[in-house]
Amino acid sequence: MSEAPRLGPANAVVTWAGLARHRVILALAGVGVLGDALLRPGTPGWEVGVGVVLLAGALPADDARSVAEWAGAAASFLVRSRWITVAVEHPSNIAGEGAGVSVTSARASVTVRGFELEHRGRLELSGEGAALARALADLVDSLALAPSDQHVSWHVRRDGDELVTLLAVRGAAAAPLTFRPRDALVAWFAGTTVAERTWLLERWRYLRAPGEVLRVVRIRDFTAARDAAVLDRLVWTSARVSIAVHVAVEEATRARRLAERAVHRSRSDAAISRGAGFRESARAASETGRLARRESQIAAGRALVRLGVYVTVHAAGLDELRASVAEVLEVARAAGLRCERGVGRQGPWHRYQLPGGLGW
């Protein structure tokens, strides 16, 4: 909101020596198999092919993915159903506005409560952005004390000249005072209505919904973000977009373990590098310091979260969609955001960005 996002590169992918672990394993396996095939007499030709395939799988492709990841996404796209259903309804044991709704897609279901933000002008201009950010941070910190992992999602979409903002919360956490219960808004952001099932058709690069086409883009990295209003810029482009920020809150005890383990691993890697005669890079030192600060904050009671940011671009036709996606990607790049275009993964990503975060 009014404070610059102090987020580093994504930690979701385990890395060895700065490379994704699976790429290192594939490269080492490929070198081993290919070396054995070339040096040992009488090796069958298929072994050379296996070595080449393993090495090729470790090469980078698009969207920061390796060739192996790209092939896995293509295989998943080919075998799964092209049709996606989304339904929002009141569960049988829950009744009334503000009590919660059930979001269902791909045989998975979550129950969330929806709250609408009462906008009073632009938050960053009125000075309310910082106060709201602190209130949301307090909400997330309180969820870390729950006995199981919790999930909160924040959805923003422009409706004409007005912004509509939804806070979707799993469980019984209380929303900040500036929000009012509005379960019906969950269905609007899900692209359907209460008690009605909507069908979407997944394509390689987009989704076809009733009356429009969609494309979901995921923001991978905030490291180079130049100011606080990086997501606000995307909302106010000429494209019709909706932004979903998902926060999965780790349980407090597990969060402390994860933070301690990350710091230990980073410092151990640095010690091994120094022992081997290598100089510690400024990037590695900065990462170790960031992890140590995170460990201190978690020990002081702050929450450890998994963050996912999705931008859904809406258009009436494919030509408009291509132009809108290009504009959104250009604005994101200029703001210092690294994006993934989701080729072959539009169906799962659409499910992930729904209120409640199905599939998280």
Q: Do residues 185 and 167 make contact, with C-beta atoms less than 8 angstroms apart?
A: no
Question: Are residues 175 and 157 located together in one domain of the fold?
Answer: yes
Domain end (from 60, 79, 98): 79
Question: Are residues 345 and 220 located together in one domain of the fold?
Answer: yes
Our count of domains for the chain comes to: 3
Residue with the bigger pLDDT between 289 and 319: it is: 319
Domain end (from 34, 63, 79): 79
> What is the extent of the structural domain holding 258?
253-299
Question: Are residues 273 and 244 located together in one domain of the fold?
Answer: no
The whole-chain average pLDDT of the chain stands at 82
Question: Are residues 202 and 233 located together in one domain of the fold?
Answer: yes
Residue 346 has a pLDDT of 95
User: Within a domain: residue 205?
Assistant: yes
Q: Do residues 69 and 60 make contact, with C-beta atoms less than 8 angstroms apart?
A: no
Question: Are residues 153 and 214 located together in one domain of the fold?
Answer: yes
319: left (phi over 0), alpha (psi -120 to 50) or beta: alpha
Q: Do residues 311 and 155 make contact, with C-beta atoms less than 8 angstroms apart?
A: no
Answer whether residue 13 shows pLDDT above 70: no
Q: What is the mean pLDDT of residues 20-48?
A: 85
The CA–CA distances, whole Å, from 205 to 71, 315, 341 equal 15, 14, 8
Residue 242 has a pLDDT of 93
Domain end (from 79, 94, 119): 79
Answer whether residue 207 shows pLDDT above 50: yes
Task: Residue 233: give its domain's CATH number.
Answer: 3.40.462
Q: Do residues 219 and 234 make contact, with C-beta atoms less than 8 angstroms apart?
A: no
